Amino acid sequence: MNANAQNSFNDMQLQINRDSPVPLHHQVRNYLLGSIERGELLPGQQLLQEKEYASRFGISLAPVRQAILDLVKEGYLYRVPGKGTFVREQKVEEKISILSSFSESMRAKGLSATLRVVELRVGKIPPALKSVLGQGDQQYVYLQRVALSQGEAIALLSSYIPARLVPGIETIDFQGRSLYKTLEERYGIVLARAENTIEVVRCRAAQAAVLGISPGTPMLQVEGKTYDVTDQFVEFAQVLYRADRFRFTIESFRRDDRVLHLIGAPDLEEGARP
């Protein structure tokens, strides 16, 4: 425990007000979160045991345990069985660059991320996507990749591209290779715009198996269509970001009496589309 953190612990009892309408576990949560945000608890640092927090706060064990569980769920802390509770690395924050390469977006933040191919094949449109993709192109190239940071799966990227636009693409080795750069350099397809939706979803069993997390885990999902400079549909993409590792930012500004919103590429708590 560093000196700043130790000094702050001496004032813990001053942070808890039993007469406050704010529940005790919320007060403990707010104190611990404030310690993280002020740098008194550093990334990777181990917290005290719950019973020691309870003793220092002068309260029972239950509100301390609930506060720590809440911060674990929110992604600020993580637990290692048999070792204790630790402060998680901060989320990477960036503007969402929907049309940028995932790997390029990570490198721009000074982060190291690799993409590993899970599946690459040519086939028919999945029934669940027929209402989205229509009946025009029966054959689609499906590319699914998992993004890894320091060996940990942090996002799952899936792309559907009409096979007629990219003949032979299924023979390309996409290990460490950018999909968007390949589209431009090999097929002359320059992406110009994207229509996307962002929502919170539950991770399905097959997705959870690839990401190494529990089924039903909340995820940030970005999915939609991408078009080239001629406004031709090129790709339907879905990216699942681990909600405990990413966050999105939105920047708004006014131009010509219009309000424009720039959604930043997801910050890796410690990206962006393929």
Of 71, 87, 103, the position where a domain reaches its end is 87
The answer to whether residue 249 sits within a structural domain is: no
The band of 128, judged by pLDDT with boundaries at 50, 70 and 90, is confident
The kind and range of the H/E element at 56 are: helix 50-57
The band of 101, judged by pLDDT with boundaries at 50, 70 and 90, is low
The answer to whether residue 215 sits within a structural domain is: yes
pLDDT surpasses 90 at 112: no
Range of the structural domain that residue 189 is part of: 116-239
The answer to whether residue 107 sits within a structural domain is: no
Of 41, 67, 87, the position where a domain reaches its end is 87
Give me the chain's average pLDDT, please: 80
- Same domain for 71 and 11: yes
What integer pLDDT is reported at residue 182 of this predicted model? 93
pLDDT surpasses 80 at 237: yes
What integer pLDDT is reported at residue 156 of this predicted model? 94
Higher-scoring residue by pLDDT: 87, 11: 87
Residues 66-79 have a mean pLDDT of 88
- Same domain for 56 and 131: no
What integer pLDDT is reported at residue 188 of this predicted model? 94
DSSP 173-241: --TT--HHHHHHHHH---EEEEEEEEEEEEPPHHHHHHHTS-TT-EEEEEEEEEEETT--EEEEEEEEE
Least confident stretch, 11-25, 120-134, 218-232: 11-25
The answer to whether residue 97 sits within a structural domain is: no
- Same domain for 146 and 60: no
The answer to whether residue 258 sits within a structural domain is: no
Domain count, the chain: 2
pLDDT digits (tens, 9 = 90+) for 240-256: 998 887 777 766 655 45
The answer to whether residue 264 sits within a structural domain is: no
248/154 Cα distance (integer angstroms): 15
Residues 158-182 have a mean pLDDT of 92
What integer pLDDT is reported at residue 51 of this predicted model? 92
- Same domain for 147 and 57: no
Task: Give the global pTM.
Answer: 0.60
pLDDT digits (tens, 9 = 90+) for 172-218: 999 878 899 899 999 999 988 888 888 889 999 999 999 998 889 88
CATH number, domain of 156, equals: 3.40.1410.10
- Same domain for 123 and 230: yes
pLDDT digits (tens, 9 = 90+) for 74-92: 778 888 888 899 998 765 5
Task: Identify which of 199, 192, 178 has the alpha carbon closest to the alpha carbon of residue 274.
Answer: 178
217/41 Cα distance (integer angstroms): 26
At 107, which amino acid appears?
R
Of 87, 107, 131, the position where a domain reaches its end is 87
pLDDT surpasses 90 at 50: yes
What integer pLDDT is reported at residue 94 of this predicted model? 44
The residues, ordered by sequence, that sit 6+ positions from 233 with a Cβ below 8 Å of its Cβ are: 162, 225, 226, 227
